[in-house]
Amino acid sequence: MPTPIRIPLSVPTIAGNEWKYVKQCLDTAWLSSAGSFVTEFEEKMASWTGVSHAVALSSGTAALHLMLLLADVKAGDYVILPNLTFAASANAIRYLGADPILIDVDPETWQMDLDVLKVFLSKTKKNASGKPLYNGRTVAAIMPVHVLGNMMDMKRLSDVAETYQLPIVEDAAEALGSRFQTYHAGTMGLTGAISFNGNKIMTTGGGGMLITDEESIASRARHLSRQAKTDPVEYAHDAVGYNYRMGNVQAAIGLAQLEQMDTFLEKKKAIAKRYQTAFAGYEQIIPQQHLAQTHPNHWLYTIRVPDSRGLMAQLANKGIESRPLWRPMNQLDMYREQPYINHHDVSGMLNRECLSIPCSTGLTEPDQEEVIRTVITKI
Ligand SMILES: *Cc1c(COP(=O)(O)O)cnc(C)c1O
């Protein structure tokens, strides 16, 4: 029998107006996306992140799909993606009939390696519209992923993107509240996708949002997310649409969670700081590095250790949940044949050596002390 989990990896905190707002939905029977919480959640999120528009959707993956579609990614195109990400990022590219070009990640920040990307792009040809051509196919966009809520040098990425005329579509699913300089994650490219899945920094149970400064993109995303309906009564549609709209109950929870985001960010930061201090003297424990211009949300605290799976088993024995970092895309059957641009397969190394440890916004200090003691004695 496995030991039951006593200290989970990352679970939500429900401590604000969640019950009150959900009750309002139920009392008024406004459950679908026609309810007013959807609009309010969108407006509050747009102003909190500093963009003009936010479109509430059924998942972060739906946001990724619409974001790529609206960046004009077409069947047969390539999209640049870090090799180390959650499968949803690559899958969204495939939904459009496009393929990822997988770029290895930086060994310290664990984000897409800009040096590897630059060398790769410098060897490509250009098509008639100035975009890179690779294997005779157009490279249509760059999708950075803010891995674990950290961020790469977005200024440098913007320069590269401009040189090659590539739109940036940000997978900011994990990075709500992270900033590069003063800019929120998801707001530095054409569009950004946020996730409110149960394990993210704030949750709606399941849900996502597309954020952008472009009015035309926001209205198109909203339209497509509602089955591209053009008449409220007649069944008239002007495109192949999707049922991607967020429901009012999710939005009610989301609004209540967003009201607590500043507290969540402080909690995550304090947890990260305590881990960092406690592990500082142990050279077998290597934390993720952050660039000076970045202010990460510390979504999932992750360390590199010599025997990550051994440590995971030791933690599990004590009822402490932990998890390895994703299997890289080039190791998944669906993406094995895709170009994987790398020098040393850093993503493979990080998959073997990394472990995320408990960091729920509600993690208590005694529980964290126990995690720290266990990690230190078992590595
Ligand atoms: C969670 C996540 C997604 C998907 O979001 P969902 O809301 O679960 O669909 C996409 N990309 C990354 C990097 C994620 O962590």
**Residue matched to tokens 């995303």:** 221
Whether the per-residue pLDDT at 32 is higher than 80: the answer is no
The pLDDT-based confidence of 116 (bands split at 50, 70, 90) is very high
Phi, psi values for residue 355, rounded to 5°: -145, 130
Average pLDDT along the chain:
97
Whether the per-residue pLDDT at 229 is higher than 80: the answer is yes
Whether the per-residue pLDDT at 363 is higher than 80: the answer is yes
Ligand 1 in contact with 100 (CB < 6 A)? Answer: no
Ligand 1 in contact with 197 (CB < 6 A)? Answer: yes
Q: Return the DSSP state at 85.
A: S
Centroid of ligand 1 to alpha carbon of 93 (angstroms): 13
Using DSSP bridges, classify how beta strands 208-212 and 286-287 pair: parallel, antiparallel or unpaired.
unpaired
CA–CA gap between residue 262 and residue 49 (Å, rounded): 12
Whether the per-residue pLDDT at 154 is higher than 90: the answer is yes
Q: Which residues contact 343 (CB under 8 A, 6 or more apart)?
A: 104, 116
Whether the per-residue pLDDT at 19 is higher than 90: the answer is yes
Among 150, 377, 262, smallest CA distance to 369 is for 377
Ligand 1 in contact with 256 (CB < 6 A)? Answer: no
Residue nearest to atom 2 of ligand 1 (CA): 173
Whether the per-residue pLDDT at 1 is higher than 80: the answer is no
Ligand 1 in contact with 195 (CB < 6 A)? Answer: yes
Burial class (CB in 10 A: 0-12, 13-18, 19+), 66: buried
> In the chain, which residue ranges form alpha helices assigned H by DSSP?
18-28, 36-49, 60-70, 87-95, 114-122, 154-163, 215-225, 248-258, 261-279, 308-317, 346-353, 365-378
Tell me the per-residue pLDDT of 68-112, one tens digit each, with 9 for 90 and over: 999 999 999 999 999 999 999 999 999 999 999 999 999 999 999
Ligand 1 in contact with 89 (CB < 6 A)? Answer: yes
Among 206, 203, 176, smallest CA distance to 54 is for 176
The pLDDT-based confidence of 20 (bands split at 50, 70, 90) is very high
Residue nearest to atom 14 of ligand 1 (CA): 173
Q: What pLDDT score was predicted for residue 34? A: 73
Half-sphere exposure of 39 (CA within 13 A, CB side): 4
Q: What pLDDT score was predicted for residue 232? A: 87
Ligand 1 in contact with 85 (CB < 6 A)? Answer: yes
The pLDDT-based confidence of 29 (bands split at 50, 70, 90) is confident
Tell me the per-residue pLDDT of 43-63, one tens digit each, with 9 for 90 and over: 999 999 999 999 999 999 999
Residue nearest to atom 6 of ligand 1 (CA): 60
Residue 226, beta-bridge partner list: 243
CA–CA gap between residue 179 and residue 184 (Å, rounded): 4
What's the whole-number mean pLDDT along residues 205-222?
A: 98
Q: For ligand 1, what atom is nearest to the CA of residue 147?
A: 13
What's the whole-number mean pLDDT along residues 13-28?
A: 95
Centroid of ligand 1 to alpha carbon of 371 (angstroms): 26
Q: What pLDDT score was predicted for residue 367? A: 98
Ligand 1 in contact with 60 (CB < 6 A)? Answer: yes
Q: What pLDDT score was predicted for residue 186? A: 98
Lateral strand order in the sheet of 208-212: 53-57, 208-212, 191-195, 169-171
Ligand 1 in contact with 175 (CB < 6 A)? Answer: no
Cα distances from 20 to residues 32, 69, 81, 254, 339, in angstroms, run 17, 37, 41, 12, 50
Q: What pLDDT score was predicted for residue 101? A: 98
Centroid of ligand 1 to alpha carbon of 59 (angstroms): 8
Lateral strand order in the sheet of 302-304: 286-287, 302-304, 354-356, 323-324
Mutational test site, ligand 1, from 195, 325, 327, max ligand atoms within 8 Å of CB: 195
Centroid of ligand 1 to alpha carbon of 144 (angstroms): 13
CA–CA gap between residue 65 and residue 240 (Å, rounded): 14
Mutational test site, ligand 1, from 91, 171, 300, max ligand atoms within 8 Å of CB: 171
Centroid of ligand 1 to alpha carbon of 105 (angstroms): 18
Among 262, 249, 267, 297, smallest CA distance to 41 is for 249
Using DSSP bridges, classify how beta strands 354-356 and 323-324 pair: parallel, antiparallel or unpaired.
antiparallel
Phi, psi values for residue 304, rounded to 5°: -100, 125
CA–CA gap between residue 248 and residue 92 (Å, rounded): 25
Mutational test site, ligand 1, from 57, 79, 174, max ligand atoms within 8 Å of CB: 174
